């Protein structure tokens, strides 16, 4: 099984290849774009900016409440890049977004019951 770090490294390199004006090394980009390069798929503000710049389609979901448990569950269970701002979670994975919609669009419920 391929680790999240390896998957994120490959994705980050693909993004760097699409942004010829950015000359950051892979490791620096990993630290700048991912909240936890070794762990989950949470993007930093800089990572979100890059996804927006490349027009990568995201799916927005409302977060009813934010707690440490929610952040830990999202970090551990989501398998697509995502970004959290206030009470909105933007997920960049069509499969997971569809699954969340099919479970009523409640991201907390999806994480608790289906992951």
Largest CA distance in the chain: 43
Beta bridge partners, 88, equal 62, 85
**Residues 33-78 pLDDT 10s:** 999 878 889 999 999 999 999 999 999 999 988 888 899 999 989 9
Three-class DSSP category at 93 = coil
Task: Tell me the pTM.
Answer: 0.89
Pairwise CA distance, residues 42 & 71, whole Å: 9
Quick check: 22 pLDDT over 80? no
């Amino acid at each position: 099984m391929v680790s999240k770090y390896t998957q994120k490294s490959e994705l980050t390199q693909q993004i760097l290849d699409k942004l010829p004006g950015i000359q950051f090394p892979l490791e620096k980009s990993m630290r700048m774009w991912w909240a936890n390069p070794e762990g989950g798929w949470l993007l930093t503000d800089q990572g979100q900016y890059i996804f927006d710049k490349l027009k990568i389609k995201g799916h927005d979901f409302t977060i009813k409440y934010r707690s440490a448990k929610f952040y830990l569950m999202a970090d551990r269970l989501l398998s697509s890049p995502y970004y959290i701002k206030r009470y909105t979670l933007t997920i960049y994975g069509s499969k997971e977004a569809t699954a969340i919609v099919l479970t009523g669009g409640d991201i907390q419920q999806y994480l608790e019951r289906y992951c």
